[in-house]
Amino acid sequence: MTKRFIFSIALALGLVVGSVSAQAEEGGLPPSGSGVRDQASLQRGAKLFFNYCVGCHSLKYVRYSRIAEDLGLSEQEVMDNLNFTGAKFGETVVSHMPEADAQKFFGKAPPDLSLEVRAKTADWVYAYLNSFYLDPSRPVGWNNTVFPNASMPFPLWELQGVQTAVKKPGSEEVEKLELSRPGKLTPEQYHQAARDLTSFLEYASEPAALQRQKYGIWVLLFLAGFTLLAYMLKKEYWKDVH
């Protein structure tokens, strides 16, 4: 009975993982390779976010002080290098773009990115950052194959360069993207930068994940020790019955 129960759980988990992988492959989303355990990657991602994204987007559920604590930064480092809005150290990350300007330039206010990875997955965000291309037909001059007709201009074009769309013969469907003008970074370096930014947004979506992972190993060790103790106690109590 126990073996059958364990086999059923393993089979169910395998079906779930297989389904998620199939959906990602079907959607053409490249794996992000992101994660919140690499503190150096999170620091680089934070630098990218505050230099290229915070002008329009907020992280209204994350405080500067929490970023400093979790990313191993001092208050001085955060206030000098990441805080460009004049906010206090204990305040949340709020964009300084007035809503009226956002409506004027983009037609709507840019979304808060606190829960972007939770809502759309890290793979989606990473693919989105790699899928911008020039499109003169769009109001902002850019389009995106992952999120067609996006109203956002590409903030990282200086780093990646300019991509142009190659469309299928006799169709308006984009077949692939080609780098027509190189940026400041090589393709490999830009992929790492996009991965770092995705990792930071993954952290921002759940800052407690860092603490949960740190304490999780001790919880598992406690449960393993308690299970062994309970088993030995059971053997001692039942030895005379058998």
Q: Is 22 within the bounds of a domain?
A: no
| Average pLDDT of the chain, as a whole number | 85
Q: Is 242 within the bounds of a domain?
A: no
Secondary structure of residue 172 in the 3-state scheme: coil
Instruction: List residues bridging with 235 in a β-sheet.
Output: none
Q: Is 3 within the bounds of a domain?
A: no
Q: Binding site: residue ranges? A: 53, 56-57
Q: What is the pTM (predicted TM-score) of this model? A: 0.77
- pLDDT confidence of residue 103: 72
Q: Is 86 within the bounds of a domain?
A: yes
How many Cβ atoms are within 10 Å of 59's Cβ, its own excluded?
Answer: 26
Q: Binding site for heme c: residue ranges? A: 53, 56-57
CB 131 within 8 A of CB 145: yes
Structural domain span for residue 187 = 28-235
pLDDT digits (tens, 9 = 90+) for 149-174: 988 999 999 999 999 999 988 888 99
Q: Is 164 within the bounds of a domain?
A: yes
Q: How many domains does the chain have?
A: 1
Q: Is 19 within the bounds of a domain?
A: no
Check the CA dihedral 130-136-141-146 and report its sign.
negative
Between the two ends of the chain, the Cα-to-Cα distance in Å is 21
- pLDDT confidence of residue 26: 38
Q: Is 134 within the bounds of a domain?
A: yes
- pLDDT confidence of residue 19: 41
pLDDT digits (tens, 9 = 90+) for 133-142: 999 999 889 9
| 102 contact partners, CB below 8 Å, separation of at least 6 | 56, 108, 109, 110
- pLDDT confidence of residue 27: 44
Q: Cα–Cα distance between 102 and 108 in angstroms, integer?
A: 6
Angle between helix 39-52 and helix 187-205 axes, rounded to 10 deg: 90
Instruction: Report the CATH number that the domain containing residue 41 is assigned in CATH.
Output: 1.10.760.10
Phi, psi of 81 (to 5 degrees): -110, -15
Q: Is 16 within the bounds of a domain?
A: no
pLDDT digits (tens, 9 = 90+) for 73-84: 999 999 999 998
Tokens 């992929």, residue located: 191
The parts of the chain modelled with pLDDT lower than 70 are 1-30, 213-214, 242
